[in-house]
Structure 1
């Protein structure tokens, strides 16, 4: 090569520049970004840029993105009565069980409505029933203990009064 008078890197020298590699070392030229034109020359609206590309990196476009629709997910609505059942039952802890009665009633109505309509919220309604009945049971036990203590205190005071007289 030295005898031909060329430095070895010019056109036709067999270097990588002859094959399109030396002119754009980082691949940032216009040939590195694929065309968004569809098969008939129109712009492809389903082609989307890569959201995971590094900032400043050339954007690669996936021509097949959006070609098939994603799965259709139909979610059933959650029963409002089931939610209210749980809320009223939990508030019964503060209101000495008065709202728990409403929570239990709403829980039963919600469970029957869920069976009819196929809504979601069966677990919420069941939780509202369990919490509501538990709070009502705790209140009844608490009131019973209170009355036992009051009756015991009254009987002791009556005994002390009768012994003093």
Structure 2
């Protein structure tokens, strides 16, 4: 036997537990949902033995995601395994916006037609993306102009028939 005095809890500093006491994993010593009493389980989505990082961040030096890591490539070639993203023609987007605005304002339809044809020409030469936007901008410009011409014709007919039916003789 040893000649050490027996262990007394009042000899320890307040707020600490003896090293042999188990640390509760849940508040009030209750097991979590689906756990057997006394079993230690990792938090959801964490592999056993891995250190928990805040907000799902990967520790430095580890790859995130699936598959093999991407090999470095030379300057001007983009990431290995991926093609270079083709450029989109800006005038195609402008033509589409002007074509849609032509239904509200009327006069932007002409701009949609002009910019749409210029954009289609540039796309054919350079191979940029945006052909569909340029086509729709041009088509919407033509449709808006056609509708405004038809509306003008109907308004002229309406006001001429209204003026013809009006009796202009006044009797005092």
- Alignment partner of 2:81 out of 71, 92, 95: 71
Instruction: Look up the match of 1:57.
Output: 48
- Alignment partner of 1:112 out of 115, 121, 135: 121
Cα displacement string for residues 85-121 of structure 1 (whole angstroms, at most 9, x for unaligned residues) = 00011111111x2001101100000000000010000
TM-score (norm 1): 0.58
Secondary structure, counterpart of 1:55 in structure 2: coil
TM-score (norm 2): 0.56
Instruction: Look up the match of 1:81.
Output: 91
CA RMSD in angstroms comes to: 3.1
2:126 aligned with 1:135: no
> What count of residue pairs does the alignment treat as equivalent?
111
- Alignment partner of 1:147 out of 144, 156, 163: 156
Tell me: CA distance 1:163–1:74, structure 2 relative to 1, closer, same or farther (3 Å). Answer: same
2:102 aligned with 1:92: yes
Structure 1, gaps ≥5 residues long: 1-25, 27-52
Tell me: CA distance 1:56–1:103, structure 2 relative to 1, closer, same or farther (3 Å). Answer: same
Tell me: CA distance 1:151–1:109, structure 2 relative to 1, closer, same or farther (3 Å). Answer: same
Cα displacement string for residues 107-154 of structure 1 (whole angstroms, at most 9, x for unaligned residues) = 000000000010000000000011111111111111110001011111
Secondary structure, counterpart of 1:93 in structure 2: helix
Instruction: Look up the match of 2:168.
Output: 161
Distance 1:163 1:67 in 2: 91
